[in-house]
Amino acid sequence: MVKVTIDGIEIEVPEGTTILNAARMIGGKVVPPAMCYYSKLKTTGGYCRTCLVKVAAGSAKDPRPMPKLVVSCSTTVQDGMVVLSSTSPEVTEARRGVVEFLLINHPLDCPICDQAGECKLQDLGYEHGLAKTRYEFPRRTFEKEDIGDKIKLHMTRCILCYRCVKVGQQLTPERVHGVMNRGDVAEISTFVQKNIDNEFSGNMIDVCPVGALTDKTFRFKSRVWYTKPMDAHRDCKKCCGKVAIWMKGEEVLRVTARKDENNEAIDFICNECRFDKKKASDWVIEHPTHIDHHSVISANHYEHEEQLKLGKFTDHKMIDKADPNKYLPKKKSKTK
Amino acid sequence: MQTLTTRSKVASNKKMTFVEKLYLPAIMGGMALTLKHFFKKKVTIQYPEQKREFAPVFRGQHVLKRDENGAERCTACGLCAVACPAEAITMTAAERKPGEEALYREEKYASVYEINMLRCIFCGLCEEACPKEAIFLTDRMVDTDYVRKNFIYGKDKLVDPLNNPIDVSKRETRETREFKTHPEFTHNKLNTKSLK
């Protein structure tokens, strides 16, 4: 175990933990935003640079500060490390710059986008007050590509976080999509126009931090803040069957994985649950999903008192480090 | 205790004098006051033949504006409905089909857009929330009717008529104008780029 101080809060974490995960163990304002790192997928992180932190002291043995801001998602902690996250104006300024860069090519079609209301880029832009841009060149555009009848790809909205590619690599038996081309013209695409119809391909909708990959069965049905999220489950042979269903009246408009407080899927779900089970009778509804009261979705959203008291999401914090493979479907099927 | 008005008089039960008992001077005074009003400027107008000018900030019946090319600006983003304190607005979105580009400005549009005029309190928050400059409150009154269901205004009543567009230039605030024209806002850049 090593001791690390983040924003003045000391915590003991196992050796080899990244700064980001240590901050997540503390929770709250300390946690740096992350657009590309996904604890449930291996080799994610290091692309987006939104999780920059300042290391004021490298370790107890060598207390010199690190010369530049470091990415917290792929920097491991050392004993006696002192990290400044949201308390450092330098870090806030750097993140602001990163968000400005992410928004350079983003179309800002939030009024149309189905992700609006639960979009991390929207939150980040709002947090840093970036309503204006200094960029004067035309934004990149792409030829519209159809990647299947269930998933809609809006390449202009993509921030190239690679999360969906990792889903393809790690959750589905054979990867059919990835990042094509390089640099400015890099884009997510399917290999040889192949449709994505793997059992678990739908999870790339959940991992996408922006609205680049959205659910075609939910497309333009409603805005997220008019739907009521409910935790529900069903007996599914392929996945755990524990999902969040987004209802409007008696209708199930959308099915997603349940998300933890870091907006990461707690359990990946299969395509059958996600796309085909759109009747309330298909599901056993447990209770309303916990929604952060800062979110626009929390308007007219009521939760059970016990659920709020339990703070039920705190117990998910350690899961990823204990056994990162736990959520991969292969193991799931073995245990069943 | 401090009095609320300087014009209040304390009532007293003191005996009236003879002149006061006659009442005539008081009656004459009252008649004179009434007579004076005959020669004053009338405060009433003969509505509906005569119409009074509205203030530029008057908020009346809504209009869903079209853009310069006559395509509907509304993209059914739902922000007006979420801003509405009276929950008077409902809408259903639909995807624009190829060939409908002249009708709807963007890929999503409102296939149904309804405002319940009985619920609406004409606060103008929908106008303020609209990111697409689509909804405006105009200087028109909402018509009266006998049946409640007729107050649910659909797109047939709300969308700006093509041949006779409603002038909403007075409704634009300084902020709106800046929002529309300021070169540092992304959407303005997009517009100029696409027009070129």
The reply to whether A46 and A141 lie within a common domain is no
Q: How far is A114 from chain B (nearest CA, A)?
A: 9
The reply to whether A134 and A177 lie within a common domain is yes
Check if B95 contacts A (Cβ < 8 Å). yes
**SS3 of B191, please?**
helix
Q: How far is A256 from chain B (nearest CA, A)?
A: 21
Q: Is residue A67 part of a domain?
A: yes
Structural domain ending residue among the three candidates A42, A60, A88 = A88
Check if B194 contacts A (Cβ < 8 Å). no
Which of A101, A103, A133, A297 would you mutate first to test chain B, the one with the most B CBs within 10 A? A133
Quote the number of domains for chain A: 3
What's the pLDDT at A51? 93
Residues 6+ apart with CB under 8 A from A160: A47, A179, A186, A188
**SS3 of A172, please?**
coil
The reply to whether A334 and A322 lie within a common domain is yes
What's the pLDDT at A328? 42
The reply to whether A59 and A114 lie within a common domain is no
pLDDT at A330 over 60: no
pLDDT at B164 over 80: yes
Q: Is residue A149 part of a domain?
A: yes
Answer whether A112 sits within 8 Å of B108, measured CB to CB. Answer: yes
Structural domain ending residue among the three candidates A188, A203, A220 = A220
Gap between the Cα atoms of B80 and B123, Å rounded = 12
Gap between the Cα atoms of A157 and A139, Å rounded = 11
The reply to whether A78 and A119 lie within a common domain is no
| CATH code for position A204 | 3.30.70.20
The reply to whether A264 and A248 lie within a common domain is yes
Provide the whole-model pTM.
0.79
B45-78: burial string, b at 16+ Cβ within 10 Å, e else: eeeeeeeeeeeeeebebbbbbbeeeebbbbbbbb
Could you tell me what percentage of chain B is helix, strand and coil, using 3-state DSSP and rounding each to the nearest 5? 30, 15, 55
Average pLDDT over residues B24-29: 93
The reply to whether A212 and A250 lie within a common domain is no
| Residues facing B95 on adjacent strands | B108
The reply to whether A13 and A48 lie within a common domain is yes
Nearest chain A residue to B78, by CA = A223
Structural domain ending residue among the three candidates A46, A61, A88 = A88
The reply to whether A226 and A216 lie within a common domain is no
Q: Phi and psi for A52 in degrees, rounded to 5?
A: -55, 135
Q: Is residue A93 part of a domain?
A: no
**Tokens 């997009």 — which residue?**
B190
The reply to whether A115 and A155 lie within a common domain is yes
What's the pLDDT at B187? 66
pLDDT at A322 over 90: no
pLDDT band at A317 (very low <50, low <70, confident <90, very high): very low
**Domains identified in chain B and CATH numbers:** 62-195 (3.30.70.3270)
Q: Is residue A121 part of a domain?
A: yes
The reply to whether A216 and A262 lie within a common domain is no
Gap between the Cα atoms of A65 and A82, Å rounded = 9
Q: In this predicted model, what pLDDT tens digit does every residue of B80-121 receive, in sequence order?
A: 999 999 999 999 999 999 999 899 988 899 999 999 999 999
Asked whether A56 and A82 are in contact (CB, 8 A), the reply is yes
Q: Is residue A97 part of a domain?
A: no
pLDDT at A258 over 80: yes
Q: Is residue A100 part of a domain?
A: no
ipTM: 0.76
Gap between the Cα atoms of A127 and A119, Å rounded = 12
User: Where in the sequence is the domain holding A261, given as residue range(s)?
Assistant: 222-336
The reply to whether A21 and A78 lie within a common domain is yes
Q: Is residue A94 part of a domain?
A: no
Q: Is residue A51 part of a domain?
A: yes
What's the pLDDT at B26? 92
| CATH code for position A60 | 3.10.20.740
